[in-house]
Amino acid sequence: MYSYSRHVNDIRRVQILLMLASTALAPGVAWAQTPSTVEEVVVTAQRRTERLVDVPIAISVVGGQSAQSAGVVSTRDLPLVTPGLIAGQTGFAFLPSIRGISSTGTGAGDEANVAVYVDGVYVAQNKVTAFNLADIERIEVLKGPQGTLFGRNATGGAIRVVTSNPSFDPTFKAMASAGFSKPKSRELSLYGSAGLGETLAASLTGYIYDDSGYLTNSDPAFSGDRQGSLQSYIVRGKLLYAPTDALKVIGAIDYSQSISGVELTTTFVNNVSAFKNVVGVIPALGEREVGTNEQNYNKGLSWGASLHIEHKSDHYTVSSISALREGGVRISLDNDRTRLTTNRTQQKVESRAYSQELNLASTLPGPLNFIAGVYLFHQDAGDPYANVNAATIGPVVNGVRTVTGPLLLTSSITDTLKTTSYSAFGEATYAFSDRLSLVGGLRYSIDYKTARSSNLLNRASPEVTTKNHWDNVSYRLTAKYKPTPDSLLYASNSTGFKSGNINAPTYPFPNPHDQVLPETVTAYEVGYKTRLLDGLELSASAFHYDYKNIQLTTNNALSAAAGRVGINILQNAAKAKISGADAELIGQLDEHWGWRLGASWLPKAEYADFKTGLHFEPAAGGLGAVSVSSDLSGSRILRSPKMTVNAGVNYRTELAGGELSLSTNYYRTTRLFLAVGEAIEQPSYDIVGAEGGWTDPSGRYTFSVWGRNLTDAAYFLSGNVNTGGFAAVWAKPREIGVRLHAQY
């Protein structure tokens, strides 16, 4: 096992825990003396508006303001407030993990195991699901297979981002923030909404984020060079038409653009690098240090339009969601991760997706109610070009090698993957009494896929086409029992399905494209939810997963497999067993003090049958890595720490005629592995964030001071292994800044 190790300051960790404990147990605070009310959480996780305490699945919910106070700026930050969620990443693809289930696929048209939705619209392209959060009403993280109620089947769970709808009351909100540490950052958001008549209202959101980068180049020739910067822009407009209380129509359009170097600016881990003995290489071995002679970048844009129509009658609600999403990414990657020009990848990725969903939900007075729907999804995704450029390097002489030739184009492919999916789903609930109910759901899905690829270096070579289709029936059975009106016990058995796939981003002639079978998960879960004295809300669950035909992508960027030109190898790798539990507590001690505590425990998350596990191990002397096929049964699943903890404390009181608010948030994860075969180990780390603000007597202006990663924890966002070596992406250091809110 090869791991990156960093000395952990135990004294500092103890001080952090004591600080949180002393804040939560501050003198004068007594639970029983002055109970207050925790605002009841309402979600739409089951296609109808319900109290969180009544929903028989594990859900974490965070409001927009709470997310901001906790330092949640983008979807990558959601683990700070969500037990069991890890923000995985491979290259420029965002691949979240929930309870140990995640993806490694980054090819055109490959979809994540954890589905991301924005206002009910599925975002298929995993290269654009790492985005900053602007004007968020709430975020719902659904844990476990989502097979019977949502547009796309998902084996791991779903992240549902809900933005604010237009209001008939004139509303204006503005926020400006500046960070003064490394990286220096600027953030600005504007939101306005107003009625345009008795039945029409509109809203407009604008958002800008910019930072200077936080990675240092190890080469003295690039002294002062900053890498890993991010610029992000978002514009969203909504139009609400509500001619009657029964009919609501919402049209939305959004555009976003980002230019980021974070995902692709990596450093070698444990000094495993195929280029470290090349003359002129200066290794990057320090914290947040990289070695490169160019600015890596990931330029992405995405736009979408959607139309939501909802009509309510006395006992039925009919809804329709029509959507179009289009996006593209251009990347430039310094593959050798050195100051030399020896290996570079340039790629363009494009996708266009259409979806249509129809739902019918009942609210009948009798014991039986149901939700039924149909879903159509079509996506055209592909790489107009994927180019690998390499220079020739001479043999080892006296322990070193030299670059002997210029950078030349060695591989160039173009590919497309078309996906068309049809599904029908339904779920019925039968109430035997006010306390006992049984839920049963089914979903049938069929996916058709067509992959095409050709070699741009040899125009005479034929285009290779591969077609296939896969179908599946998923189910959900849940028993619900309500001991009291504000508590719920449930037990469920459900399944999830991720469609089979074809490895389009490779030119395989005369071999066929790599293909994988669908992966499936069978989940068993028991849970308990309750509200106590209006001052405490508890959610807890225990689960076991049987996870089969896991799809894994092995990166092969610097050494194409025999007979293939491309960067990835796709395979069905293993079976896995996952068992664990998670829980969340939200409490309001009195009118001043509130708190939140969450934890996830995964004692078992391992490959149960992985006898031919393709992975990488360091080559002799650490000169790159070699692919090895061996029995990995019993090894830990990637991105599956045994324990994560989230905690937060907030305090509010009157001050100088206005209101003072203070909050602190804590996150801890035990060690986890960032590559298959336990190739890159990320040791445990702790993160503390804090914010203090004062709102003026008018309630319109709030000035805040904020801090993120105050422990200055040095940890990796992601890891990557291939023949070039072991590499990882550093996360941001400590950030401190100020923020001004205004609302009218």
Position 312 in a domain: yes
List the single range of 179-193, 263-277, 304-318 with lowest mean pLDDT: 263-277
User: Which range (408-412, 429-433, 568-572, 583-587) has the least confidence?
Assistant: 568-572
Of residues 3 and 731, more confidently modeled: 731
Residues 663-687 have a mean pLDDT of: 93
- Residue 1 covered by a domain: no
Say if CB 703 and CB 740 are below 8 A apart: yes
- Is it the case that residue 321 has pLDDT exceeding 70? yes
More confident residue, 254 or 67: 254
- Among 89-103, 342-356, 553-567, which stretch is predicted with the lowest mean pLDDT? 553-567
Domain extent for 65: 10-743
DSSP string of 117-130, one letter each residue: EETTEE---TTS--
662 part of a folded domain: yes
CATH number at residue 241: 2.40.170.20
Distance CA 197, CA 193 (A): 12
Q: pTM of whole model > 0.85?
A: yes
When pLDDT is averaged across residues 392-419 and rounded to a whole number, the result is: 91
Residue 408 lies in a domain: yes
pLDDT for position 1: 37
Beta-carbon neighbour count of residue 148 at 10 Å?
24
User: What single-letter amino acid sits at 487?
Assistant: S
Q: Is the pLDDT of residue 175 over 90?
A: yes
Please, which pLDDT band fits residue 239 given cuts at 50, 70 and 90? very high
* pLDDT > 80? residue 558: no
Strand arrangement of the beta sheet that strand 59-63 belongs to: 59-63, 136-143, 157-163, 114-118, 121-122
Cα 472 to chain center, whole Å?
25
pLDDT number for residue 153:
78
Determine, yes or no, domain membership for 3.
Answer: no
Closest by Cα among 100, 95, 86, 163 to 125: 95
- As for how many domains the chain has, the answer is 1
Contact at 8 Å (CB) between 182 and 167? no
648: tokens are 């937060």
pLDDT of residue 428: 95
The pLDDT confidence band at residue 7, using thresholds 50, 70 and 90, is very low
pLDDT tens per residue across span 346-379: 999 999 999 999 999 999 999 999 999 999 999 9
13-21 mean pLDDT: 35
Q: What is the pLDDT at residue 220?
A: 72
Burial 309-324 (b: 16+ CB within 10 A, else e): bbebeeeebebebbbe
Q: Are 41 and 50 in contact (CB under 8 A)?
A: no
Q: 4 in a domain, yes or no?
A: no
Task: Average the pLDDT over each of 240-249, 304-313, 606-615, 686-695 and give the range with the smallest value.
Answer: 606-615
Distance CA 400, CA 397 (A): 5
Helix H or strand E segment including 302: strand 297-312
What's the pLDDT at 47? 62
Q: For residue 210, is pLDDT > 90?
A: yes
Average pLDDT over residues 303-327: 95
Q: What is the mean pLDDT of the chain?
A: 86
- Residue 382 located in a structural domain: yes
Residues 682-723 pLDDT 10s: 999 999 999 999 999 999 999 999 999 999 999 998 888 888
What is the number of H-type helices and E-type strands within the chain? 2, 47
Section 231-249 average pLDDT: 95
For position 502, what pLDDT does the model report? 92
pLDDT band at 13 (very low <50, low <70, confident <90, very high): very low
Q: Residue 37's pLDDT band (boundaries 50, 70, 90)?
A: low
Q: At residue 338, does pLDDT exceed 90?
A: no
Complete DSSP assignment for 221-277: GGTT-EE--EEEEEEEEEEEE-SSSSEEEEEEEEEEEEEE-TTT--EEEEEEETTTT
pLDDT tens-digit series, residues 406-428: 999 988 999 999 999 999 999 99
How many percent of the chain have pLDDT more than 70? 90
How confident is residue 32, by pLDDT bands cut at 50, 70 and 90? very low
Is 319 part of a structural domain of the chain?
yes
347, 386 contact by CB (below 8 A): yes
Q: Residue 679 pLDDT > 90, yes or no?
A: no
